[in-house]
Amino acid sequence: MKKRILFICSHNAARSQMAEGYLREKYGDRYEAFSAGTTATAVHPLAILVMAEIGIDISGHRSKDLGGFIGQEMDVVVTVCDAAQGICPMFPWAKETIHAGFSDPAAVAGTSDEQVTAFRSIRDEITGWIDTTFGGA
């Protein structure tokens, strides 16, 4: 049986979406990946862009509210931003909770090139962390 992993971030717009897409694509034979936000918004276009650069299509993802996962048992809940970390003690359906905080690439001001660079950097941090954390399991 596949382990169920839920990535939580504040808006379910970038970090948690990238994590969900990457885990599903690379390790989908072992894990079911989900993501949600404490407040759902929309998937950030730059998250879609930088994931497409590594061959992962998240353009069909939608931002989901954490409330939609109430009562759904998860093997692991991962908070990928500090703001969402406080939510996890209130998610009793998780067997394990992990906090892996990543900076918000959407908060980077600057030129469009600087913003894309920020998204790529966070994408690479997230994918590296997932490879280390879930790749050998």
**Catalytic (active-site) positions:** 9, 81, 88
| Whole-angstrom distance, CA of residue 12 vs CA of residue 35 | 7
| Whole-angstrom distance, CA of residue 86 vs CA of residue 84 | 5
- Let me know: does 121 contact 18? Beta carbons within 8 Å: no
Helix (H, G, I), strand (E, B) or coil at 8: strand
